[in-house]
Structures are given as C-alpha cells and as structure tokens.
Amino acid sequence: MVLAAAFLGWMFDGLEMGIFPLVARPALQDMMRVQDDRFVGLWMGYVTALFLVGAAIGGLIFGWLGDRFGRVRTMALSVLTYSVFTGLCFFATHPWHLGALRFLSALGMGGEWSLGVALVMECWPEKKRPALAASIGAASNVGFALIAVLGLVFKVTIHSWRWVMLAGMAPAILTLLITIFVPESQRWLHSVREAPDAKRPLRVVFSPSLRRVTILAIVFASIAMIGTWGSVQWIPLWVDKLTGGLLPRAKATSLILSALGAVVGSILGALVAGRFGRRITYFGLCLMSLLLCGWMWRGFHQWNALLGVVIFLVGASTAAFYGWLPLYLPELFPTRARATGQGVGYNMGRIFAAVGALYNGQLVSHYGGSYARAGAVVTLVYIGGMLLIWLAPETRGKPLPD
C-alpha cells in the first residue's frame, strides 16, 4: 500500500507537470490574442518559473510537516493541494491567473515527492532501494505519458485547452485512499521518540555534519532540473511551431515519445546506479544528456520520424536523473530529517530550474522565437554535473543512516 500510494501520487505529479507544456501555446495565444512565439515564450518562462518556485516552497513546507507530523497525513494533504488548484486553471482568463494557480498547485506537488520517497525507503528492505527508486522515478513519467495520450486523443487547441486543466482534479480521489489504507512509517515513529532533535529537522539538515552533502544534493538536483525545465519541457512548443500549429497531434506525439523514453530512463537510471555506483552513473547521464540534447536542438528543422526517435532518447537520458535522485538523496540524510533533507535538495533544485526557465524564455525572445537555439544553450549545464559529481560521497552498498 505504501508503494502503491507513492507510485500513484508521483504518477499524478507527472500528469500535473505534463499538462502545461501540452496546453501552454494555445492557452497563452488564447488569453493574449497573439500568435507571436516571442510573447508565448516569455510567458511560458514566467509560468514555468512560478510553478518551480511553488514546488520548491511546497517541498520545504510539506517535507518539514512530514518530519514533524508524519508522512501519510501530510502526503494526502499535498496531493489534495495540487489537484484542486490545477483544476481551477479551467477558470483562468489572464496569463497571470495561470501563473498564480500553477504556483499554488506546485506547493502540493513539491511536497508529495519528498514524502513519498521517504515513506517508501523507510518501509521497504534496504536491498530493494534501486528497484524502488526506479519505480518512483518511472511513475511521474507514466503520468507524463497519460496526459500525452489524452492530448493525442483530445485535440488541444485554443478552444479546448481548459478541459485538459479540469482533468487535473482527478488525483483528489487518491487522498481519501491514502488516509484510509496507507500505514505510517514505523521507522519515523521510532526516530521521533528517540532523537532529541527530531522536532528540528531543518536545523539537522544544515548542521555542520550535513551542510556539505545538503549543498551537493541541491546542486545535483538543480542540474537535472535546469536541463528538464529549461530545455526539454519546451519540446512540445517547439514541435508545435515546426508544424505551424496545424498538427496538434504532433506535439502530443512528441510528449508521448519523451514520456515513454523517460519511463525507460528513470528505471535504468536507478538500476544502473545500484549496479555500478552513484557517482559514475550521474557522470554518464550528464554526458549522454549533453550529447543527445545538442543533437536534437541543433540537428533538426522539421518534424519527422528521426526527430521522434531522438526525442525518445532525450527523454530517456534527461529523465534518468529522476530514478537516480530518489535512490541517492535518501542515502544522504538521517531518518529524523530525511523528508526535510530530500525536500531541501530536490526542491531548492527547482528554484535554480526556475531561473533556468526564465533564462530560456528570455533566450527564446532574444533568438527571435527560436526554441531550438535557446534549448541548446541551456543544456550546457550538464557540463557542470560531470565535474561536480566527484565531490560527492559514494553510498552504494551502505545502509540508510539512522
């Protein structure tokens, strides 16, 4: 039940994250009554940045609540939060409405990740950690694929995008099931009884003994997310422009291919890290992402079958980090501060990803509406990951810290 709740919660997280790239271009064109991608790109950057900042704040708030009051009840509240505010986007009439509602929905989405990962890792045997991280990482991309299939079946245009946002309320049903059926983490219950500083998890995370690994966790999550949110998330908009907006199914297809690749990549990212080590795997993922993204953004100027294959590969390489992160981050923090530590690392990464999204929006405008040239610049961030990963501890084969 714990694994099922975490899987479904993160799957719906992925669905929520995939909604906006699918509807962004027609929604913004509808609200602003413009067709120019320079303006669409700017607002895409603004709304994406607000979403990421909201997720970062939500991760900190809900992670802290989870360490103080329990994983299960807090996770149910986080799912309810992102469901309700995504559905309310149906009523948005101005771009800033979308930005505000995406910010509020992201509060819950940011919290669900750290809570679900902590709960699963604490309730399952340690030898299962790579497989569990793979399933959690894949779950969000299953959600991406589901919303992309919806976009393939249901044409998302300036006249129909609101109904897609309304579908985002579906996860609210999950909160009731979580509250009734999912047991609390016994490891957490024992920790809060025994540890004198259990009620001050944020202080633990930034204590002298953990400060270095906390900063590294932020860096590694930031690099992965800047690549995703500052570049890969813009693929559907780019494809929509390549087809002149005349083939709505093309952008849905690109999202499906990216999501399917991401499912495969998330699973492999965790399993490879479990087999060969955390550091060498992260280095390899950065290298592959750098090369594949460079090929995609610089090598194609029209929508075709080969571009679809490359989008699949880009989705796999860039999303493999989301199998790696739920494996590695829990191994850095003790039980009494695990949800907070993961929340800080993963969601502070979203703050820097928000900067990347804003920067990409500015680049799109600077390059005259060229999503490809902007995306190619942003993905150079993977070079930093290839260098910095060697400063991190290797945790393969070690138990979770108590």
pLDDT tens across 310-345, in order? 999 999 999 999 889 988 988 888 877 787 888 788
Closest CA to 53 of 271, 262, 353, 337: 353
Q: How far apart are CA 351 and CA 353, in angstroms?
A: 5
pTM of the model: 0.76
The DSSP output letter for 337 is G
Average pLDDT across each block of 10 residues of the chain; the chain has 402 residues. List them in order: 82 79 81 75 81 84 82 84 88 89 88 78 79 81 79 78 81 75 78 63 82 92 88 84 81 85 90 93 96 94 92 94 90 82 81 80 82 89 95 86 72
- Closest of 338, 266, 347 to residue 119, by C-alpha: 338
- For the domain made up of 2-391, the CATH class stated in words is mainly alpha
Beta strands in 230-303 (DSSP E): none
Q: pLDDT value at position 294? A: 93
CA angle 19, 24, 307 (to 5 degrees): 85
Report the alpha-carbon distance of residue 357 to residue 137 in Å, rounded.
22
Task: Report the amino acid identity of residue 149.
Answer: V
Please enumerate, as own/partner, the contacts of 384-388 that have beta carbons within 8 Å and a separation of 24 or more. Answer: 384/219, 384/223, 385/220, 385/223, 385/224, 385/282, 385/283, 385/285, 385/286, 386/283, 386/286, 386/287, 386/290, 388/216, 388/219, 388/220, 388/223
- Report the pLDDT value the prediction gives residue 198, as an integer from 0 to 100: 53
Q: Is 166 helix (H, G, I), strand (E, B) or coil?
A: helix
pLDDT score of 264: 92
Give CA–CA dist 271/324, Å, rounded.
8
pLDDT of residue 199: 61
**pLDDT number for residue 196:** 57
Q: Each residue of 67-101: pLDDT tens digit?
A: 778 888 888 888 888 888 988 988 988 888 988 99
Tell me the C-alpha distance between 90 and 188, whole Å: 39
- The structural domains of the chain, with segments of one domain joined by +, span 2-391
Tokens of 289: 């992402």
C-beta of residue 167 within 8 angstroms of C-beta of residue 154: no
